[in-house]
Amino acid sequence: MKFFFIGFFFIFIPQMLLAQDKNYTLEQCIDIALNSNLQVTQAANQAGRDQIGKKQARLNMLPNLNASASHGWFFGRSIDNTTNAFVDNNIYSGDYNISGGVTLFRGMNLQNTARQAAMTAAASDMSWQQQKDNITLNVILAYLQMMSSQDILSQTNDQATLSEKQVTRLKDMDAKGAIAPSDLFDMKGQYANDQATIINAKRDVETAKINICTLMNVPYDSSMKFERMTVSDILEKNNTNATDAYEAALQRFAQIKAADFSVKSATYGLKAARSKLFPTLDFGYGMSSRYAQSSSASLADQLKNNNNKNLGFTLSVPIFNNLQARNNIKLARLDLKDAEQNDKAVKTQLQQNIEAAAVNMNAAFDRYKKLQDRVNALQQSYQAAEARFNVGQWNSVEYLTVKNNLDRANIDLIGGKYEYLLRVKIYNYYQGIGN
């Protein structure tokens, strides 16, 4: 009995935990996608690189300090590095150096380069946030598409169940000679058509699940379960003002901020390029000593006696360097022009997208309401047609015409409902509103 419980624990408990891992909520799907999606991780890596570049640009303004040591064996006639005299015996000697320097003036090149790197890093952070916003929206849209496919599957199952009941009823009546055989054949054909529609609906559900797995960057498993999200609370008309929405988006949309930071980065890049036309003043310092085995003095005495210190200034004046500095300035101006044009294009595109999103959302809501009216009307028509068909006043062709109209209306209503939900999510996305 003891070994039974041990075996149960090691075999069945992991399987139960694994099964639990296959149940997902919308929030879990978003979290997994944010951590695993390739586009998001690549944007995060780029943001990390630019943060390192930002830190390095700042560190470049600090003084530098380096140390070196060299040792060697010399054979035959050599020079004693402590006396510069020739010696005829083999010697061992060493040199030790510490040196450093700091830039005192470079036309503000280091400062502007550091500011450029800071703006580039800020733009990368915003681009990373934009990717996260994009993937969040895409997961939500894929999730809604899956729910739409599930609702359509449920609707087609109901349609098939109703057709099956009619087939069973007509078989009994046909056996008694109470109906024309064509009515039974027509209903069997309708039932087969409903079953074929179910197959397509099941395919659409699994395809939607695969799309969610693609966004999460996880393997697809047919046993995966996705909990449905609540949508009834947003099936009212969304009062919109595209102008106000655009103004809000300018303050919230990450892509807008990324474009603004890119303009600032290019501006500092142009200043950094211009600074290369100025002279450069550097201050250097160092200390060195040496040791030779051929000397009679001790190691400590030689290092002390041969100690050398130096301080110095270096002034470099650019005169002619193949016009590299001036051509770099021209390139920096073009980079700034590109950044400014991109900033303007991003804002224009955002305004157009918001206007289109508002138009599509309002049209989707109006269509959804009309589809509701259509279903309500056809539902009443179907109830009357079913009553006439059941008592033999209508034939199968008349009944199926009304039934198929209602079936199509119900499918269209499901599509209209989720179309409106999708449009609301897209509209909110452009404003940076959490979904």
**Amino acid identity for residue 11 in this structure:** I
Distance, in Å, from the CA atom of 281 to the CA atom of 315, rounded to the nearest integer, reads: 5
CB pairs under 8 A, 24+ apart, for 201-209? Answer: 201/149, 201/152, 201/153, 201/156, 202/153, 204/149, 204/152, 204/153, 205/146, 205/149, 205/150, 205/153, 207/149, 208/142, 208/145, 208/146, 208/148, 208/149, 209/146
What is the average per-residue pLDDT within 368-386?
Answer: 93
- What does the alpha-carbon distance between residue 315 and residue 104 come to, in Å, rounded to a whole number? 10
Residues 103, 105, 111, 113, CA torsion sign: negative
What's residue 138's pLDDT? 94
% residues pLDDT > 70 (the chain): 91
What pairing do the DSSP bridges indicate for beta strands 23-24 and 225-226?
parallel
Query: 105: part of which helix (H) or strand (E)?
Result: strand 91-105
Q: Over the stretch 63-99, which tens digit does the pLDDT of each residue have?
A: 999 999 998 887 767 776 666 777 767 777 888 999 9
Question: Has residue 3 got a pLDDT over 70?
Answer: no
pLDDT of 432 reads: 65
- pLDDT on residue 433: 62
* CA distance readout (Å), 331 to 53, 251, 267, 328: 21, 31, 12, 5
pLDDT (0 to 100) of residue 5:
45
Q: Give pLDDT tens digits for 169-219.
A: 999 888 888 888 898 999 999 999 999 999 999 999 999 999 999 999 999
Q: pLDDT by residue (tens digit) across 297-343? A: 788 888 888 888 999 999 999 998 888 899 999 999 999 999 999 99
Q: Closest Cα partner for 155 from 424, 369, 417?
A: 417
Which pLDDT score, from 0 to 100, does residue 179 have?
A: 85
Distance CA 325, CA 386 (A): 86
Q: What pLDDT is attached to residue 401?
A: 93
Helix extents (H) in 107-180: 109-175
Could you report the per-residue pLDDT of 409-434, keeping only the tens digit for each? 999 999 999 999 999 989 988 876 65
| Protein fold of 16-62+106-278+321-430 | Outer membrane efflux proteins (OEP) (1.20.1600)
Comparing 4-13, 114-123, 271-280, 424-433, the range with the smallest average pLDDT is 4-13
Alpha helix positions (H), 22-63 = 26-36, 38-59
Average pLDDT, the chain: 88
Tokens 């580039």 belong to 120
